[in-house]
Amino acid sequence: MKHVTVLMGGLSSEREVSLKSGAAVNKALKELGYQVSIVDVGRDLPAKLAELKPDIIFNALHGTYGEDGCVQGLCEIMGIPYTHSGVQASALCMNKEYTQSLLKSHNIPVAESYYFDDLDEIGADIMDFPFVLKPVAEGSSVGVSIIKSVEDLKKAKTEWHFGRAMVEKYIPGKELSVAVLESPEPNALGVIELRPKVEFYDYKAKYTDGITEHIMPAPLSEKEINKVKSLAVKAHKALQCHALSRADFRYDGNEFYILEVNTHPGMTELSLVPEIANYVGINFRDLIEILVKKAKYHNS
């Protein structure tokens, strides 16, 4: 049986989530009979991989270095097949600015947005309140604020430490996620609706049990379901994702606006992709095995 090394933890703000994803993946791989080793990723990763000599890397990292093309590039250099998307798609999807630009060029609806290196350039007249302030290159809603007033904007500016910022029009309505799995062609498995009991689907709402109601399948018409699934598949292809992605949308009752495409969806007990997959008959172990079998290095 092949030796799979699970990369987890890491150096990003999403470290704790990655540790949970990695633990769940590790358990599933052992149940499937793989030889498994785990690495809590640090700057000594190249030396550890050279020592372990895995056949496949299962990338359970989230955030900076793990899903932005950095680890993917290392795997390419070392010639080790790895799960999920390659360097280009990972880097694109991690950067919301580049993602939105590419999606717009493919006529996929995105919310009106502006980008700033200096937050002092963001005035209250940038767009009507409320609007969303978020980092260009963070995941799990880290650093995201809904700005409803001048006071909110001032407070957000004083607390900001995320680099380049994105100001995005707030879209009222439903919060939706669509899982896309290649089998072998990209196929949208289903649509789930998130109803957080807090203001919006932030980091706490994503990873604290009981704070967000998950409704699977999302209560939409067949026409609406087909439309948002089609947009998710179109985005997956446009960004050249591989194996698995999750597209997040807001739906105002008239148009679906894509917020982001995640190339490394969470694999925790509260994660959306495993829940969607399970609903359509793909249990967690089956999902992990599909990803392992699709592992590759993209420059081969």
Q: Are residues 179 and 126 in the same domain?
A: no
Question: Annotated catalytic residue: which of 63, 86, 190, 266?
Answer: 266
Question: Annotated catalytic residue: which of 246, 251, 257, 289?
Answer: 246
Q: How far apart are CA 61 and CA 299, in angstroms?
A: 21
pLDDT of residue 207: 45
Q: Does residue 234 carry a pLDDT above 90?
A: yes
Catalytic: 107?
Answer: no
Question: Do 62 and 45 contact (CB within 8 A), yes or no?
Answer: no
Question: Annotated catalytic residue: which of 22, 248, 271, 289?
Answer: 248
Does residue 253 lie in a domain region?
Answer: yes
Most confident range (mean pLDDT) of 118-122, 211-215, 282-286 is 282-286
pLDDT of residue 141: 65
Other CB atoms within 10 A of residue 270 CB: 18
Q: Does residue 276 carry a pLDDT above 90?
A: yes
Q: pLDDT by residue (tens digit) across 16-71?
A: 999 999 999 999 999 999 999 999 999 999 999 999 999 999 999 998 899 999 99
Does residue 266 lie in a domain region?
Answer: yes
pLDDT of residue 270: 73
Q: Are residues 276 and 205 in the same domain?
A: yes
Question: Annotated catalytic residue: which of 67, 168, 260, 289?
Answer: 260
CATH code of residue 41 = 3.40.50.20
CA atoms lying within 13 Å on the CB side of residue 120: 0
pLDDT of residue 198: 57
Does residue 26 lie in a domain region?
Answer: yes
Q: Are residues 139 and 194 in the same domain?
A: no
The percent of residues in the chain predicted with pLDDT above 70, rounded, is 94
Q: What CA–CA distances, in Å, run from 228 to 96, 101, 195, 232, 263?
A: 19, 19, 18, 6, 18
Mean of all residue pLDDT scores within the chain: 92
pLDDT of residue 205: 44
| Least confident span in 151-155, 276-280, 295-299 | 295-299
Q: Does residue 187 carry a pLDDT above 70?
A: yes
Catalytic: 40?
Answer: no
Does residue 133 lie in a domain region?
Answer: yes
Catalytic: 248?
Answer: yes
Q: Are residues 135 and 259 in the same domain?
A: no
Q: Is the dihedral of CA 261, 249, 109, 157 positive or negative?
A: negative
Does residue 236 lie in a domain region?
Answer: yes
User: Which residue(s) pair with 58 in the sheet?
Assistant: 6
Other CB atoms within 10 A of residue 224 CB: 17
Region of 10 on the Ramachandran plot (φ > 0 left; ψ -120 to 50 alpha; else beta): left
Count the domains in the chain: 3
Question: Annotated catalytic residue: which of 21, 85, 140, 245?
Answer: 140
Does residue 298 lie in a domain region?
Answer: no
Segments forming the whole domain that contains residue 126? 113-169
Q: How would you class 203 by CB atoms within 10 Å of its CB: exposed for 0-12, middle for 13-18, buried for 19 or more?
A: middle
Q: Are residues 192 and 247 in the same domain?
A: yes
| Least confident span in 13-22, 202-211, 283-292 | 202-211
Q: Are residues 47 and 29 in the same domain?
A: yes
pLDDT of residue 203: 44
Catalytic: 246?
Answer: yes
Q: Are residues 260 and 188 in the same domain?
A: yes
Catalytic: 140?
Answer: yes
Q: Are residues 57 and 162 in the same domain?
A: no
pLDDT of residue 199: 58
Catalytic: 149?
Answer: no
Q: Are residues 69 and 148 in the same domain?
A: no
Does residue 79 lie in a domain region?
Answer: yes
CATH code of residue 223 = 3.30.470.20
Domain final position from 169, 198, 216 = 169
Domain final position from 153, 169, 185 = 169
Catalytic: 187?
Answer: no
Question: Annotated catalytic residue: which of 34, 65, 207, 257?
Answer: 207
Catalytic: 260?
Answer: yes
Question: Annotated catalytic residue: which of 10, 12, 13, 14?
Answer: 14
Q: Are residues 41 and 179 in the same domain?
A: no
Q: Is the dihedral of CA 253, 187, 8, 260 positive or negative?
A: negative
Mean pLDDT for the stretch of residues 76-93: 96
Q: Are residues 202 and 182 in the same domain?
A: yes
Q: pLDDT by residue (tens digit) across 207-221?
A: 445 678 899 999 999
CATH code of residue 143 = 3.30.1490.20
Does residue 196 lie in a domain region?
Answer: yes
pLDDT of residue 204: 47
